[in-house]
Structures are given as structure tokens and as C-alpha cells.
Amino acid sequence: MEKRDVVILGGGPAGYRAAIRISQLGGKATLIDKDILGGTCINRGCIPVKALSRAAEMLDLTRMAKDYGVTCRDVEVDISKMISRKNIIVRTLVTGMRQTLSGLGIEFIEGTGKLISPTQIDVQLRDGSKKEMEARRIIIAGGSKWKNPLLPGGEKIITPTEAFEFKAIPKSMLIIGGGFVGTSIATVFSRMGTIVSLVEESPRILSEVDREIVSIFERELESQKVQIYTGAQVNRIEEKGENEKKVSITLKGKEANLTTQHVLMTEGRAADVDEMNLDRMGINLNEKGGIAVNKHMVTNLPTVLAAGDVTMGRMWTHVAYMEGIIAAENAMGKNSEIDYRSIPYGTNTLPEIAGIGLTEDEAVAKGDHVKIGRFPFASNGLATVLSQRTGMIKIITEGKYNQIIGVHIIGPRASDLIAEPALAMKLEITPGEISATLHLHPTLSEGFWEVARMIGGT
């Protein structure tokens, strides 16, 4: 049996970040992945949708170009080139990651690993051969996968994996799920001319996002002629004709029928642990079906840790990064803890949405005597230059110390802008301190300075 230091099962964001951190700490990491290095995020998730979102943004720019004295004639949408560009971006990132791992001396094995003891792994290599390894520590970072929808006609549903490989622009698309993925795909394809319907079970789309921000975003979706059905549930899907499906939904207690070319499922994922032999090992699962871990990312077996989507916690890549790093540090003998208090979120929609901390509704419910400041991008110099004046930056503070407890943004480059408030909240910086810090002009970031001055009283 071959000896290893730390073996990581899964080469997605949590896995490869764990491997890099182990190497930085002087350890020797072995990374095993059954699929493609980079996991869902790089290959079938946030990077592909961001690449397509960039293409849709380019389309917006051509439409605005005449306002700047630039005439764009014969503008065409070539989805095959969009997909090709997306694939180039993915390959570039995967190649770069391979080079990084190789440069750090990290062993990468293509195969499927399963536990045969708390310190031993059986690996089925892609060439059909097998290896058995014994490791001091094992980190499970197998990620998540799409669940099969349990409804009549569910086999007719596609996932984002298929949507990111379309050969032609769909005429129409019904998206099940109005969360981060569903809304991002809706904004991309609606700009290409696809008739998009968005079906969400909750009373509103983006239920985790500040209500005021969502209301602005809904108006943008409506301007793109996206039909939004909230409080709705899909009952069944039937073939109606060539390239056409009839979808039965329950809406406000009544049944309604919608017709569409494609039905896309964007919600419903499960931990990808089927082949890892967890039951036999006695590894505990949580109520969501993910691997149960403590704040050190350690399972009920002291030699086995887990990180990323496989825990079914906050299923965002940046969270997986940090969980992988924490797991790696503890595998190397440190006593690191994960801190979930200040985790930003962001969408790949147009316009972008990002936020951190409590929403206005949550803050008011806590009774913190909140103060709220808003600064519209319509009053920002650079946003006006960019012709991207929709949206705002919103800060929520509590009454006692004027501490920032929530920041929510909708508008240009919101996902980049949220980094400053994330750091401010982490360091407990007040709006007054932010307003005393000069921000470059003209920039989008000075909108944060403006609203901090407004709410900080300076």
C-alpha cells in the first residue's frame, strides 16, 4: 500500500485550494479527481455563465454605441462562437491550474477514490488499474451534482451543463428556480432574444437578497420581457410537438399551462458522495444530506475532513475556497476555524447584484434601531459615463455603535465593489471611517464613499 501525507478527494475549488495550502505549509498533497480539474465552478458553473454574461454585456454595448458616436452595423449573435470563447476560457483556467499544482509539487491523479478505512483510500484509475493508499489525513471535497427532478416528464428537463453547450439560440426557455443561477441565465438568454419564463416556488425570486434590491432587479427583468411566476410549482412536462413542450404549473392555487422549447432546472443539488463508501465508514451526514463537519471542517472521524459543496452548506465557490483552506490547515496540525459571519454573495446577472450581512427586513426584525443610507448610481460620475445608471448602493447600520451590519448593491460591477464593505465589516470599520478615506474619482467605488458620508454624518 502506497504511503501519502494528505489525500484530497475532489479537484474542485475546495479540493485544489486545500492542496495549495497544504503545499504552502510544507506538506505533500495528493489530489484525486474523477471528473475534470476545477470542478463545477470552472467547467459547468460560475465561469461559463460569467463568460456568457460577458458576451451578453458586449451585445448591450453595441446597442449603446451609437450614443457615443460609434455606429455598429450588422451586429449578429453567434452562439457557437460564444460557446467556443467560453470553452477557451475554461481550458485556459484549467491549464493554468494544472501548472500551478505541478509547480508546487502537488500530485494529481485522475480517478475515483473511496474510503476503505479512516486512513486508507482505494483509487480506481481511469486506465482501469487500481491503487491503494494510506494517508495521515483525508479531505473529502467531492462537490455536488444535480438531482434528478421527481415529476412526470422530468427526463425532458436540462441542466445548466446542457444550456452552456447550446448549438443554437433557443426560441424559448422556462427556467425552474429564481435563485442566483436561474436569474443569471435568464438575463443572458433574454438579451439574445430568447423568450424566458422564470418559475419560482418562493413568494419572490432571489429570496435571500434584500427586498428593495430585488424589486429594482425585477423591473430590469421585465424590461427584457422575462415573465416571472412566483409562488408557482411545476407539476409535469409533456411533449407538445417538435421542439415544443407543454409545462403544467400551479400558480396561486390554479393550474396553468405554458409552452416552451426548453425546460431548464437551476435548483436542486446533492452532495456527490455516492462512490466514497461513507456509509461503511460511519461518517455522519447532516440534515441536508451533506457530510457533517465541525467548525474545523473535521468529520466525526478525526482523520477525515470535508470541505465545499459536499457539506451542503453555503454552496458558493468563495466559501469552498475558505473551507478548503481551513481543512488543509487543520490537516497540517493547526487549529483554524471557519467564520461564516461576513460572507459576501454575488450574481452573474445584468445588472450585477452583490451583498453581505443582514437585509433591511432582517435588521428591522432584530430591532437594532437601524439606519439606512442609499446612493443611486444615477448620481455617480463613472456610472453615467458608462451609461449604467440603474441601481444603487445601500448600507444598513445598527443604532448603538453605528456599525455596518449589511451592504447591498445592484448596478455595474457590484461583485467587485462588495469587497470593500466585506473588509469594512470584517474589521468593524464605521461609515465615518470610510468617509474619511479618500476614494479615487471618477470611480464606481466612490459611491460607497458617498453613502458612507450620508449615513456616517460627516
Residues with a known catalytic role: 441
- Crossing angle between the packed helical segments 13-24 and 79-103, to the nearest 10 degrees: 30
Candidates 260, 259, 266; CA nearest to 184 is 266
Neighbours of 56 (CB within 10 A): 20
Q: What is the dihedral of CA 428, 432, 437, 439, to 10 degrees?
A: 100
Cis peptide before 149 (omega within 30 of 0): no
Residue with cell string 449573435: 77
Whole-number Cα distances in Å, 203 to 178, 206, 230, 328: 10, 10, 5, 40
Residues 6+ apart with CB under 8 A from 389: 376, 377, 378, 380, 383
- By the 8 A CB rule, do 176 and 264 touch? yes
| Mode of pairing for the β-strands spanning 304-306 and 172-176 | unpaired
Whole-number Cα distances in Å, 162 to 159, 263, 266: 6, 11, 11
At 109, the amino acid letter reads I
CA distance 406 to 355: 7
Candidates 45, 34, 110; CA nearest to 276 is 34
Beta strands in 340-391 (DSSP E): 345-346, 352-357, 371-376
Tell me the three cell numbers of residue 315: 454552496
Residues 6+ apart with CB under 8 A from 227: 195, 196, 197, 198
Q: What is the dihedral of CA 142, 143, 145, 150, to 10 degrees?
A: 100
Whole-number Cα distances in Å, 361 to 104, 328, 370, 411, 452: 47, 37, 10, 21, 20
